[in-house]
């Protein structure tokens, strides 16, 4: 049961990040979504090279 709860929390975290990012893009309006995605990808690649675990990335 704990495993399913953990995966549900992980799914929620991923969905929540996507929702928050979309809300930010809509709120600011003038920001190019492709530029935001590119910046996030660069940040994630940088952190992964530094051996950050994906769960730590979700908590940033």
Residue-range domain boundaries for the chain: 2-59
**pTM of this prediction?**
0.41
pLDDT tens digit sequence for 32-46: 778 878 888 888 888
pLDDT tens digit sequence for 1-60: 444 444 444 455 555 777 777 787 777 766 777 887 888 888 888 878 887 766 666 665
Q: Between the CA of residue 38 and those of 5, 11, 41, 59, what are the distances in Å?
A: 31, 22, 5, 20
User: Is the CA virtual torsion 26, 28, 32, 33 positive or negative?
Assistant: negative
Residue 54 structure tokens: 């994906």
Res 7: pLDDT:
47
Res 14: pLDDT:
53
Q: Between the CA of residue 50 and those of 7, 14, 46, 47, what are the distances in Å?
A: 24, 21, 7, 5
């Amino acid at each position: 049961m704990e495993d399913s709860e953990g995966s549900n929390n992980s799914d929620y975290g991923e969905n929540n990040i996507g929702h928050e990012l979309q809300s930010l893009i809509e709120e600011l309006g003038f920001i190019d979504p492709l530029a935001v995605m590119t910046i996030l990808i660069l940040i994630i690649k940088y952190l992964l090279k530094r051996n950050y675990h994906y769960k730590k990335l979700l908590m940033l």
